[in-house]
Structure 1
Amino acid sequence: MSARRDGRRKQGFFARQSLLTRYILIVVSGFLFIPIIIPLASLVYMTTSAIGGGDDVRFTMKYGNAGEVEMDWHAEARSLRGGRPDEVNARLRALADEYPEASLFWVDAEGQTRLRLPEDAEGEGGVPDHWSADDAVRFMKTSVGGDPFTVVAFLGENNGEAAFMALQLPRKLVEAGPSSGSGTTFFVAFVCVSFVLFTALSLLFFLRIRKRLLLLQAAMSKRGEHGLPAPVEVKRADEIGGLEGAFNGMVEQLKAGRERQQEEEELRKKLISNLSHDLRTPLTVMRGHLYTLGKEPLSGAGKESLATLERKADGLGELIDNLLAYTLMTSGRYRLEPEPADVWRLARESAAAWYPVWEKAGIEADIRLPADPLVWKVDKLAFRRILDNLFQNIVRHAAGGRYAGLYAERRDGRLMLVIEDRGPGLSGSSEGKGAGIGLAIVEYLLREMGLAWERESSEIGTRILIYQSGSSETWGDSR
């Protein structure tokens, strides 16, 4: 009882191992993917940027940001206070080496441009040779916020002298603009990787379910010992694991049922065999007393009763023989030795042996078999037993029709042996019983010899058709 309760608890709606629970988690993750992954990507990007401390931005700016370049330039200008023109020229040339992409120049206190670097750019870029107040205002107006980035610093302590020097750099070298695209690339990559992981997780979930179902299907189709499926290994305590456990339980029940059926079958065979042997002794004694009684003087009614007892004793003997034969057949101890034989000849010989019995019962025999032999691979004794059982059924069940037919018929390209009567047949009532065992023996022997049969019953009688179920028949000599 506790095991069943545990099984029901494991299969609950929110059970940890439940397939439904895992599937709901995947679906919820899918719904939350877009509204959560975008803020998450932004948060991760900002966090990594904060941890990096702007080093990435600094790396993209060769000389630092604009403020740092401006502070450095002003510091250089202060260091040149009272400097001679040749000293200022020498320092600017050194700074030109530090800023190879820059344009540099300086103007003395009289407004004369003393040095312009690079030297091949003289007279270009709006730098006049002699500066007026208008030139200075115009230069500052065009340089503020423009490209190139321009820094102007007066020489001397506190940058208080009239002379000044200027630095012009491409603005992209001192400002990290949105053109770098590093944040967008990271964001797109993060979203794509997250989507791929989500898709892979979903696909893996369903592929594992499919694999387990296919394994279970293969186990159901495969037959092991005694024709039963083999148990499967229960790997997980989820819905499929419950199905696998139920399948194993069914296999165990089938196995137990098969073993019980085999035991009952063996018991039945043993019981029939023992009863058959035990009944033979009193039947033999009964026949002996009936034979002795037949020698005594009896009235007409007595003789009729004696004849009835003799028929019943013969029928009982045949039933016991059939029981023994059927027991041997079903236990696999009835050996057959099929060999090519003319079935028309075997049918004629069996009919000839039964002719006196039919004549005594008032049955007219109509035998119309071809002259050319029909060769089938059969066990002769078994085939005669088949015919004997069928002929006996005519006497028992169809004697009222007073007809027994034995002839050949071709149907669907097959040549068949037909046994016919005109009585109520096996579908009607009769005085004798026990046809079930006799017909079971007929069916078993025909199947073991590769033959088949059909039974057609109607109001005018019964027809038994015997034919080969596989290979075609052979005409010719039966040697």
Structure 2
Amino acid sequence: MGPFLWLLLAALVTAVAGLSIKLHLIRRAAGEIARGFQEKLRGDTNTLIDISSRDKAMRELASEINAELRRLRRERLRYQQGDLELKAAVTNISHDLRTPLTAICGYLELLQGEELTEKAEEYTGIIKGRTELLRTLTEELFRYCVVLSDPGGLSVEPVDLGAALETSLASFYAVFTEKGITPEIIMPEERVMRRLDKAALSRVFSNLLSNAAKYSDGDLRVELTVEGRLSFANTCRALSGVEVEKLFDRFYTVEAARKSTGLGLSIARALAERMGGELIAEYIDGSLVMTAVFLN
């Protein structure tokens, strides 16, 4: 092999080695950008992506991503500020409405104790019903805003899920009896313990059972598993799969629940998530299945 071929071979080897090193550096820079991007999205930090590579194209890419991260951070702060202001305003409004609504309800009670004509009794009953609905909505608005605006207000302790569920079911005995519902209850033999807020858990169960009583066609199946999954299933032909997907939306109600505020399930999901759990709604073969999951 002549000197020229040796020189050509050496040049090729050098070029391949150089390209391999450059490719390795680019791949390392891409990994740094990917890890940095995920870290910045997950955490609430003002730091930006920094890479070790001196490659112009990769540094330009990192710079463009940093510019978008700064824009995203500004939008997030603006949203958080607006959200906090809205929650504070709704909380104050709902709190201020409590006193006049309580007075109105009190005077309506007094009025119903007076001698009224048949029409006056009918109108008074309608007014009382609408006032009670408004008071319920005001209370739910207040609770909803308190739940969302106080992320650290939980008192965590060991809780027996089965015992808590039995207590909630017992409190709904009269409601189920009135609606002709005899719940089928399935519990594991062993205790299912989780570290949760007992009052918040009771609220979650209460809202789920209230929803079941509201939508049920006459049946209810409640099951607790040792893994910490609680399902509330009832036949409900009045609902559709599309409506079930919207049940956790704020203020969403269906025609069958016109007296609902549309906040109960939103509150239940918010509380479940704050305790590290999950709340899921499914529509399976004509049945509404609400599942609360507490794995930890």
Q: TM-score w.r.t. structure 2 length?
A: 0.72
Q: Which of residues 444, 451, 463 is equivalent to 2:270? A: 444
Q: Deviations over 1:162-221 (max 9, x none)?
A: xxxxxxxxxxxxxxxxxxxxxx9xx72x76356425532453245235413422332222
**Ranges in structure 1 where 5+ consecutive residues have no aligned partner:** 1-183, 472-479
Query: Would you say the 8 A contact 1:424–1:459 is kept in 2?
Result: no
Asked if 1:462 corresponds to 2:278, the answer is no
Query: Would you say the 8 A contact 2:140–2:261 is kept in 1?
Result: no
**Map of 1:146-225 to 2, 5 A cutoff?**
188=3, 192-193=6-7, 195-197=9-11, 199-205=13-19, 207-222=21-36, 223-224=39-40, 225=43
Distance of aligned partners of 1:429 and 1:384 in 2 relative to their CA distance in 1, 3 Å threshold: same
Return the alpha-carbon distance in structure 2 between the equivalents of residues 233 and 415 of structure 1.
44
Return the alpha-carbon distance in structure 1 between the equivalents of residues 84 and 152 of structure 2.
13
Return the alpha-carbon distance in structure 1 between the equivalents of residues 265 and 138 of structure 2.
14
2:181 partner letter: A
SS at match of 2:182: strand
Q: In the alignment, what sits opposite 1:365?
A: 181
Return the alpha-carbon distance in structure 2 between the equivalents of residues 234 and 261 of structure 1.
33
SS at match of 1:339: strand
Task: Tell me how far 1:283 sits from its aligned partner.
Answer: 1.8
SS at match of 2:199: helix
What is the aligned length? 274
State percent identity of aligned pairs: 18
Return the alpha-carbon distance in structure 1 between the equivalents of residues 260 and 206 of structure 2.
16
Return the alpha-carbon distance in structure 2 between the equivalents of residues 404 and 310 of structure 1.
31
**Map of 1:263-342 to 2, 5 A cutoff?**
263-331=81-149, 332-341=151-160, 342=163
Report which of the two structures shows the higher radius of gyration computed on alpha carbons: 1
Return the alpha-carbon distance in structure 2 between the equivalents of residues 414 and 382 of structure 1.
16
Q: In the alignment, what sits opposite 1:386?
A: 204
- Which has the higher relative contact order, 1 or 2, with Cα contacts under 8 A spaced 6 or more apart? 2
SS at match of 1:366: coil
Q: In the alignment, what sits opposite 2:261?
A: 434
Q: In the alignment, what sits opposite 2:72?
A: 254
SS at match of 1:231: coil
More divergent stretch after superposition (309-318 vs 265-274) = 309-318
Return the alpha-carbon distance in structure 2 between the equivalents of residues 236 and 245 of structure 1.
13
1:328 partner letter: V
Task: Tell me how far 1:453 sits from its aligned partner.
Answer: 4.2
Q: TM-score w.r.t. structure 1 length?
A: 0.48
Query: Would you say the 8 A contact 2:224–2:230 is kept in 1?
Result: yes
Return the alpha-carbon distance in structure 2 between the equivalents of residues 243 and 296 of structure 1.
78
SS at match of 2:115: coil
Distance of aligned partners of 1:280 and 1:292 in 2 relative to their CA distance in 1, 3 Å threshold: same
Return the alpha-carbon distance in structure 1 between the equivalents of residues 219 and 111 of structure 2.
33
Task: Tell me how far 1:416 sits from its aligned partner.
Answer: 3.9
Q: Deviations over 1:31-51 (max 9, x none)?
A: xxxxxxxxxxxxxxxxxxxxx
Task: Tell me how far 1:270 sits from its aligned partner.
Answer: 1.7
SS at match of 1:369: strand
Return the alpha-carbon distance in structure 1 between the equivalents of residues 70 and 77 of structure 2.
10
Q: In the alignment, what sits opposite 2:251?
A: none
Asked if 1:349 corresponds to 2:170, the answer is yes
More divergent stretch after superposition (237-246 vs 225-234) = 225-234
Query: Would you say the 8 A contact 2:90–2:141 is kept in 1?
Result: yes
Query: Would you say the 8 A contact 2:186–2:223 is kept in 1?
Result: no
**Map of 1:107-122 to 2, 5 A cutoff?**
none
